[in-house]
C-alpha cells in the first residue's frame, strides 16, 4: 500500500480529492481520518508528532543545577499517542511512503519524525517527497508526478534548532528564575531568540525615557497670486530653534506685505511598483491595514489550506520563470473587484514583474492561486486575500508618474517655500491603494510673479520622542539582524506578550522586561545580542546545505552557553538582587485607600490571588482576584477613573483573548452589590 503523509487533516482531504479526481473514500486508521483510492491512502498528522525534552529526573527546578542541563541527555516524547499508534499500523501495511508535509524546515522535520517512527517497524520502505507551494490541482498533481528525495539535511537543521532552543531556554530560564526566586507563574523566561528580540524593545524604551523634548517654531503663511488664488507656504528654515529669530523673520514678512516668486522647478518623478511579497513584507503591509503578525499568519494559513494563495512562509521576492503569470492574471478577467485592471494588464505585449533582492528556490513569493469573491470569505479573510491579489497585480503593473513642483517665494528678503504634487499616470496605484499618496495642488505660477501676504502665523511645536516599534516593524528588525526565521518570528513576538514582557501595539516593555534585560546586559551580555543568534542561524543553514553536521552545531551552541553561564554564575548575587527589586515593583497595583501605603498583588500557598497592603498587619485592606489558573496577571499603565490611585489589571492566558480585568476595587464593589442584590431577591 502507498501511504501519503501530510501535515494536517485538511490538507490530506484536499490532496486525496485532487489525486483521486474526487473518488477517494474516507476511512479510519486507529481513529485518525484517512482517504483511500487506487491502492493509495492519504493521512494527515497534526503538526509535530514528537517533541524533545529532558528526562523526568531533570524536572525539579529546585533540585537540578541549571548548568547540568547544558549536557543533559535529550529524549523524544510523543505529543500525540493516537497518531503514533496509527503510524505503527501504517508501518505494517505500507510498502511505499510519500512525505507531503509543508516544504520548509519544520515541515521536513515533521515528515521525517513520522517516517522514522514508521521505519522502526518497517525499515525496507520505499520513500519519496512531494514538494508544492500551493494546494491547487495543478500544483498537487505536478508535485506528485515529480516526487523527489526527502531532504534529511533540512530536517536535521530544524532538529538542531529544537535542541539548541530547548537547552538554551531551559537552562537560562531556570538559572535566572531560581536566582530571583521567581517560580511558578512568575518565572523569568529567557531564550536564544526571545531575549535579543526583547532587548531591542527595551533599548528603544530607554531611548524614549531619556528623550528631552525641545521647542521649536515654524512660520506658516498664505499667499495670494495675481489671479486671486491662495496657496500655503512655510519658511525655508523649517524649524526655528530660537523664537526671537522666528519673530524677526515674521516681522520682516509682515512689513513687506508682498513679494515675488523667485524659483519654480517642475520635474517628473517615477514611482516604481512594489516588489512581490515575502513573509516579512507581507506582515508589514498587513500591519498597515490593522492585522498583527500572529493574526495575519493564522488567516494566511487558512487561505493557503483553502487553495487560494501560495505558501505564506517564504523569503523569496522574485517570481520564478516557471510561474505562469499570464494565466494567474487571466483568472481575474471577469472579477468584480480586479477585472478591469486584469484586462488592462493582458493588453500588454509582455508581463514584466518587479523583483526584490531575495531569490530562493523553496517557494515563490506569496501570490493568489485561485479566484474567489468577497461573499465567500469572512471579512478578515477577504481583506488579506484582497491584499495578496492587489499586490500581485501591482507587481505586474506600470510605474506611477508624478509631477513634483518646488516653489520659492521671497517677501521682505525671507524665503518661503511650497510643494506641489500631481499624479499624472496612476500605473500600479490604480490597483494598489495601500500606499497611495495624496496630491498637493498649488496654483499655476510663474517666475517673478507678484504675490501678496494674506496671513502669517508663528506655530510653536516641540520635538517628539522616538516611536515605539510596532510588531511588524519588530519582525523586519528581526529579519535584518538574523533573529529567528520567517516561520518563527511572529511566534517569538507572541511569547513576549504571553509572558507579560510587553503589552500594547506598538509593544511597550513592562518593568519586569526592563529589569531582566538590564540584568542580562550587565552580567550576561552575550544572551542579549543578536550576533550569537545570527551565528547559530547561519550554522543551521550550513546543516541544511549539507556543509555542517547537526551534532557539531549543537556542540558549538553548548560552548557558547557555557561561556554565558560562567559570567552569570560569577554574578549570581547581583542578578538576584536586581531582579528581586524589579519583581516587587512590577506587582505594585497602586496606593491603599485606607492608609496610603503601596498595594501589591500576590499568590497564596493555595494558589489564590489577592491584592494586599504593604502595611500589613497594621493595615488589613485587601481585595480578591481571579485565581492563578485564569492566566498571567499584569499591571497596566491605565488608572481607574473612579479610584485614580489604582492601576487597571489585565489577565493573559495562552490561546485566549486577553482579559481586561480593570480596577480590582471596582470589581470587588460590583461583586458585593451583586451578592447583596441576590440576597435581597431571596428574601
Active-site entry in 311, 319, 432, 501: 311
Please provide the DSSP assignment of 134-196 as one string.
S-SHHHHHHHHHT-B---HHHHHHHHHHHHHHHHHHHHHHHHHHHHTT--GGG-----TTHHH
Burial class (CB in 10 A: 0-12, 13-18, 19+), 55: exposed
For the record, the C-alpha cell of 171 comes out as 537552562
Distance CA 193, CA 483 (A): 6
Contact 432, 393 (CB under 8 A): yes
| Distance, CA of 316 to CA of 395 (rounded, Å) | 14
Distance of alpha carbon 55 from the chain centroid: 33
Q: How far is CA 133 from CA 42, 80, 500, in A?
A: 18, 27, 36
Q: CB of 609 within 8 A of CB of 603?
A: yes
Strand 40-44 with 2-6, pairing: parallel
Active site residue 311: yes
Residue 284 CB coordination number (10 Å): 18
The sign of the torsion formed by the CA atoms of 579, 582, 586, 592 equals positive
What element of type H or E holds 472? helix 471-481
Q: Residue 325: left if φ>0, alpha if ψ -120 to 50, beta else—which one?
A: alpha
Peptide linkage before 506 cis (omega within 30 of 0): yes
Q: Which of 286, 291, 429 is nearest to 366 (CA)?
A: 286
The pairs formed by 556-564 with CB atoms below 8 angstroms and a separation of 24 or more are 557/164, 557/167, 557/168, 557/192, 558/70, 558/71, 558/167, 560/526, 560/532, 560/536, 561/70, 561/167, 561/168, 561/171, 561/172, 562/70, 563/526, 564/172, 564/524, 564/526, 564/527
Q: Phi and psi of 209, rounded to 5°?
A: -65, -35
Cell of residue 611, nine digits: 491584592
The secondary structure of the chain in percent helix, strand, coil, rounded to multiples of 5, reads: 45, 20, 35
8 Å CB contact between 304 and 370:
no
Length of the chain: 683
Q: Which residues contact 632 (CB under 8 A, 6 or more apart)?
A: 185, 498, 499, 500, 651, 652, 653
Instruction: Provide the annotated active-site residues.
Output: 311
Amino acid at each position: 500500500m502507498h501511504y501519503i503523509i501530510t501535515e494536517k487533516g485538511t490538507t490530506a482531504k484536499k490532496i486525496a480529492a485532487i489525486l483521486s479526481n474526487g473518488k477517494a473514500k474516507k476511512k479510519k486508521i486507529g481513529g485518525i481520518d484517512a482517504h483511500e483510492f487506487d491502492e493509495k491512502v492519504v493521512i494527515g498528522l497534526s503538526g509535530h508528532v514528537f517533541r524533545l525534552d529532558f528526562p523526568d529526573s531533570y524536572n525539579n527546578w529546585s533540585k537540578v543545577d541549571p548548568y547540568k542541563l547544558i549536557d543533559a541527555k535529550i529524549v523524544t516524547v510523543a505529543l500525540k499517542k493516537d497518531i503514533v499508534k496509527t503510524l505503527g499500523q501504517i508501518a505494517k501495511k505500507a510498502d511505499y511512503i510519500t512525505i507531503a508535509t509543508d516544504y520548509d524546515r519544520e515541515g521536513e522535520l515533521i515528515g521525517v519524525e513520522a517516517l522514522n517512527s514508521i521505519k522502526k517497524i518497517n525499515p525496507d520502505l520505499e520513500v519519496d517527497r512531494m514538494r508544492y507551494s500551493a494546494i491547487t490541482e495543478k500544483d498537487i498533481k505536478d508535485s506528485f508526478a515529480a516526487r523527489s528525495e526527502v531532504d534529511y539535511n533540512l530536517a536535521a537543521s530544524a532538529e538542531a534548532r529544537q535542541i539548541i532552543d530547548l537547552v538554551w531556554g531551559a537552562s537560562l530560564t531556570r538559572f535566572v528564575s531560581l536566582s530571583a526566586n521567581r517560580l511558578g507563574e512568575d518565572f523569568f523566561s529567557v531564550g536564544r531568540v526571545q531575549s535579543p528580540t526583547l532587548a531591542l524593545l527595551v533599548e528603544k524604551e530607554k531611548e524614549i525615557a531619556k528623550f528631552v523634548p525641545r521647542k521649536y517654531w515654524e512660520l506658516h503663511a498664505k499667499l495670494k497670486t495675481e489671479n486671486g488664488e491662495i496657496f500655503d507656504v512655510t519658511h525655508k528654515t523649517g524649524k526655528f530653534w530660537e523664537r526671537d529669530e522666528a519673530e524677526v523673520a515674521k516681522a520682516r514678512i509682515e512689513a513687506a506685505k508682498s513679494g515675488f516668486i523667485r524659483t519654480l522647478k517642475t520635474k517628473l518623478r517615477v514611482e516604481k511598483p512594489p516588489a512581490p511579497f515575502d513573509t516579512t513584507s507581507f506582515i508589514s503591509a498587513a500591519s498597515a491595514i490593522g492585522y498583527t503578525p500572529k493574526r495575519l499568519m493564522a488567516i494566511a494559513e487558512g487561505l493557503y489550506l483553502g487553495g487560494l494563495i501560495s505558501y505564506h512562509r517564504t523569503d523569496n521576492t522574485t517570481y520564478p520563470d516557471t510561474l505562469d503569470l499570464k494565466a494567474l492574471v487571466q483568472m481575474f478577467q471577469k472579477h468584480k473587484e480586479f477585472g478591469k485592471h486584469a484586462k488592462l494588464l493582458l493588453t500588454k505585449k509582455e508581463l514584466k514583474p518587479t523583483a526584490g533582492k531575495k531569490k530562493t528556490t523553496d517557494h515563490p513569493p506569496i501570490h493568489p492561486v485561485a479566484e474567489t469573491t468577497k461573499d465567500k470569505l469572512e471579512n478578515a479573510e477577504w481583506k488579506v486575500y484582497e491584499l495578496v491579489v492587489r499586490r500581485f497585480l501591482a507587481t505586474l503593473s506600470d510605474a506611477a508618474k508624478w509631477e513634483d513642483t518646488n516653489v520659492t517665494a521671497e517677501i521682505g528678503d525671507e524665503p518661503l517655500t511650497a510643494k506641489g504634487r500631481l499624479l499624472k499616470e496612476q500605473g500600479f496605484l490604480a490597483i494598489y491603494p495601500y500606499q497611495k499618496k495624496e496630491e498637493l495642488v498649488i496654483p499655476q505660477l510663474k517666475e517673478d510673479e507678484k504675490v501678496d501676504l494674506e496671513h502669517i502665523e508663528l506655530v510653536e511645536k516641540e520635538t517628539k520622542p522616538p516611536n515605539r516599534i510596532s510588531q511588524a516593524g519588530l519582525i523586519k528588525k528581526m529579519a535584518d539582524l538574523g533573529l529567528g526565521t520567517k516561520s518563527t518570528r511572529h511566534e517569538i513576538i507572541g511569547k513576549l506578550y504571553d509572558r507579560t514582557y510587553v503589552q500594547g501595539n506598538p509593544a511597550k516593555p513592562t518593568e519586569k522586561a526592563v529589569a531582566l534585560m538590564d540584568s542580562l546586559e550587565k552580567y550576561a551580555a552575550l544572551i542579549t545580542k543578536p550576533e550569537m543568534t545570527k551565528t547559530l542561524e547561519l550554522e543551521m543553514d550550513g546543516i541544511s546545505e549539507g556543509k555542517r553536521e547537526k551534532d557539531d552545531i549543537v556542540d558549538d551552541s553548548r560552548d557558547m552557553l557555557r561561556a554565558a553561564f560562567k559570567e552569570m554564575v560569577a554574578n549570581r548575587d547581583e542578578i538576584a538582587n536586581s531582579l528581586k527589586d524589579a519583581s516587587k515593583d512590577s506587582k505594585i497595583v497602586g496606593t491603599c485607600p485606607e492608609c496610603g501605603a503601596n498595594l501589591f498583588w500576590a499568590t497564596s500557598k493555595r494558589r489564590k490571588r489577592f491584592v494586599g497592603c504593604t502595611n500589613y498587619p497594621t493595615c488589613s485592606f485587601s481585595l480578591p482576584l481571579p485565581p492563578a489558573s485564569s492566566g498571567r496577571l499584569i499591571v497596566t499603565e491605565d488608572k481607574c477613573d473612579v479610584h485614580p490611585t489604582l492601576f487597571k489589571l489585565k489577565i493573559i492566558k495562552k490561546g485566549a483573548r486577553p482579559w481586561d480585568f480593570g480596577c480590582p476595587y471596582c470589581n470587588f464593589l460590583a461583586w458585593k452589590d451583586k451578592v447583596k442584590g441576590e440576597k435581597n431577591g431571596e428574601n
